[in-house]
A and B are shown apart, each in its own frame.
Chain A
Amino acid sequence: MKRRIIFNFILLGAVFFAPWWVTFLLGIIGAFVFEKYFEIFGFGVLFDLLYGAGLVYFGGIFGVLCAGAVFLLASYARKIVR
């Protein structure tokens, strides 16, 4: 649990300060390492609110779409690996 909270803070920092692909990679790691990593949707929404806008492509929901895709892929990968 402690590890998860620390990781969430790191990911939150990445959303604000790191290039988007670093955040994306950290999201993949989080979803793979932690079980039921539903927090990723919160980070996806925050990412879109910070950097997206309704007038840009994907309607500014790229972060949430990626979060969904990462969550599903990581769940599938965990199933295969474990």
Chain B
Amino acid sequence: MIYHQGNSRNALVKKKIITLILLFGISIFILIFAPIRNTLTQFVYTVAPSIWNIGDGVLDTLDSLLTNFRSKDALLKENRALLAEMERTQAQILDRNLLSEKVIKLEEALGRVAGDNRVVANVLVGAAHSPYDILVVDAGKKEGVGVGDMVVYAGSGVVGEIVEVSAQSSKLKLYSSSGVEEAVVVGAKRVPAKAVGRGMGNFEAKIPQDSEVFLGDNVVSAKSDLILGTISHIEEKPAEPFRRIFFRSPFNINEMQSVEIIIEERS
């Protein structure tokens, strides 16, 4: 009897292990095999934006109901909105000098001013939702968005690029994601460097020891001439040939409500 019980228990454990291996294998296959993954993603993203919109609507309704009763909370909310607006304005101000330089160069070249094609998109899902440092925005193929398009905030600060596109939404990967490398130029002397993402809007880069770089200098993406961040800390050790600079986005990544996608021309 004991022998039989042991046998059936072993069979159950075996069954559980086989099911586990099968499910794990199928899940991995679905995600690694691109055609299946893309099809399922498109399907999921036909429903997901509506769910997020409903969720946002419910939260907004609850918020407005509660603020009627709690004046302190209303003030806090207003304070948060004003802070976000201030960060946005600061980011815009940072770009003024760069823009004027750009305009002068363009005028010197006597060429016509090249305007880029931008699409404004609302952030459906912020960076806090995903361990991948990915944001979901509500513009997709229908608006002409494609993989590799750059995404900016407040008209000036580049935040990342599009990595996946669905019909009505897209996923953007932040440049500040841990380990992501981006070619940049630092400060007024435009010292070239390679910035490495450190997560949540923070970056690190190494520049030659004798470079004229100061706290508060702008760091600009080499690819787009758009601001990536401002230097917040410089670390130098006399024994090392390099200085390490730490810089961060001039705005809070978590508080972005909308972004602009620069649509690249595709043939």
A residues whose Cβ falls under 8 Å from a Cβ of B: 16-20, 36, 38, 41, 44-46, 48-62, 64, 67-68, 71-72
Contacts and interface: CB of A to CB of B under 8 A. Distances in A.
Contacts of A53: 132, 134, 163-164, 171, 173
Given A49-B44, A51-B131, A68-B20, 16 more contacts: A16-B48, A16-B55, A20-B129, A36-B19, A41-B24, A50-B44, A52-B31, A52-B130, A52-B132, A53-B164, A54-B37, A55-B147, A56-B134, A56-B163, A64-B24, A64-B28
B18 to A, nearest CB: 12
A79 to B, nearest CB: 10
A56 B133 CA distance: 9
B132 A68 contact: no
Interface of B: 16, 19-20, 23-24, 27-28, 30-32, 34, 37, 40-41, 44, 48, 51-52, 55, 125, 128-134, 136, 147, 163-164, 171, 173, 177-179
29 contacts: A16-B48, A16-B55, A19-B128, A19-B129, A20-B129, A20-B131, A36-B16, A45-B40, A49-B31, A50-B44, A51-B125, A51-B130, A51-B132, A51-B136, A52-B31, A52-B134, A53-B164, A54-B37, A56-B133, A57-B132, A57-B178, A59-B31, A61-B31, A62-B131, A64-B31, A67-B27, A68-B24, A71-B20, A72-B20
Contacts of A64: 24, 27-28, 31
Q: Which 10 A-B pairs have the closest CB atoms?
A: A51-B130, A53-B164, A64-B27, A53-B163, A55-B163, A41-B23, A56-B132, A61-B31, A19-B128, A49-B44
B123 to A, nearest CB: 13
B14 to A, nearest CB: 13
A41 B163 contact: no
A68 B34 CA distance: 21
A41 B31 CA distance: 12
A45 B164 contact: no
A44 B46 CA distance: 19
Contacts of B130: 20, 51-52
Contacts of B52: 16-17
A68 B25 CA distance: 10
Contacts of B16: 36
A20 B129 CA distance: 5
Given A55-B163, A55-B164, A62-B131, A48 B48 contact: no
Nearest to B20: A71
Contacts of B129: 18-20, 51
B179 A57 contact: yes
Contacts of A45: 27, 30-31, 40
A52 B135 CA distance: 10
A54 B133 CA distance: 13
Contacts of B37: 49, 54, 60
Contacts of B48: 16, 50
